[in-house]
Amino acid sequence: MSTAERWRLVLGRYAQEQLPAGTGERFQRLDAALDFLYGREYAGRGTREHGGTDGGGSGGGTGTAGGGGGSGASTPALLTWLGEVRQLFPRETVEVIEKHALDRYGLTELVTDPQTLDRLEPNEDLLRTLLTLKEHLSPAVLPVARRVIAQVVAELTRRLSAEVRAAMSGRLSQNRHSPVPIAANFDPRGTIRRNLKHWDAARGQLVLEEARFFERNARRLPWDVIVCVDQSGSMVGSVIHAAVMAGILTGLPSYRVRLVVFDTAVVDLSDRADDPVSVLLAVQLGGGTDIAQAVRYCHQLVENPHRTVFVLVTDFCEGGPPSDLVAAVKALAEARVRMIGLAALDGDADPSYDRRMAGRLADLGMDIAALTPGALAQWLVEVTS
């Protein structure tokens, strides 16, 4: 981005004549996101909006919250804007922008009005927003927020549980068949062989009188799974899926799940691992990151290294000395703990992370990936077989 374009973003649309806006899609999105909020600065100063009305706010005529007259931004528009800000700006900038939105421009509809929140459709985007703004929620909004969080978590658990359990249930046995007709276990060749005697030559058809289904090898894996989750603001989607994943794994036999979250401090939530809602209400999104400290803490939890899997969910943006993180991971590797570092753990598996640091940890034996929860379950099956 050129210096002129940077100044254009700083000065806003009122500098359009001297510094025309850039034409790229990303610039247009950045300009619109900033104007949605900071265009409100001109409300009540006698300036005229590009729509032709005095006062009022910005953001494509959405109005303002605070300052001169005009209607505030609608809650759906605010939700869309919050999502856009998190996509476009680095974590530190997002925190500043959101603080300005709440404290300076009074965009508090989501965090102060339970009726407004209650009208919104519970979904994962809304859950992300609530977790991000959790510290600002008023006491009146908290019961509604808890209900929304519980609804979204229940839906996520229902959707992910089936594929996770399928991956964990064992591989198909090619030698044994089951009387239980499960479509995923269908044996087409065995079914054809079993029914060849029912071939109808006149019609040229094979009549199926008995379908065959493979039996699955039961898995009883006495493995410890330590899930260590970066709770910095940029990882909110992965935090959600990690909490749900831990809850699902806790319900499976022969697994002992430890759940740890961290920023510059480490919090052990293992006693809540079976309750994703409680976990999400406990996390404190934002702040710095000390990955090395969290890895060292998790190392203390290891009782049987040869039967332990360490799952680190982070963007690998270490706030402390990189050498400390390398040393902590090296100690786990030397203890023969199986390790995977997830730059993203969500439905999209679309990561943004420090590739250089991730590469250094990969050199020590840590698998590096961005996975969906189902893919993580499959990885666990493969490494613990």
Q: What is the pLDDT of residues 279-334, one digit of tens each?
A: 999 998 877 899 999 999 999 999 999 999 999 999 999 999 999 999 999 999 99
Q: Which of 384, 372, 229 is nearest to 308 (CA)?
A: 384
The average pLDDT across 351-367 equals 95
DSSP annotation of 260 reads: E
User: What confidence tier does 67 reach under pLDDT thresholds 50, 70, 90?
Assistant: very low
257, 227 Cβ separation under 8 angstroms:
yes
Note the residue count of the chain: 385
Domains defined along the chain, listed by start:
3-107 (no CATH), 172-216 (no CATH), 223-383 (3.40.50.410)
CA pair distance 257, 226, nearest whole angstrom = 6
Residue whose structure tokens are 């706030």: 319
Q: What is the pLDDT of residues 176-208, one digit of tens each?
A: 555 656 666 788 888 888 888 888 888 888 888
Q: Which of 188, 157, 162, 161 is nearest to 174 (CA)?
A: 188
What are phi and psi for residue 206, nearest 5 degrees?
Answer: -100, 120
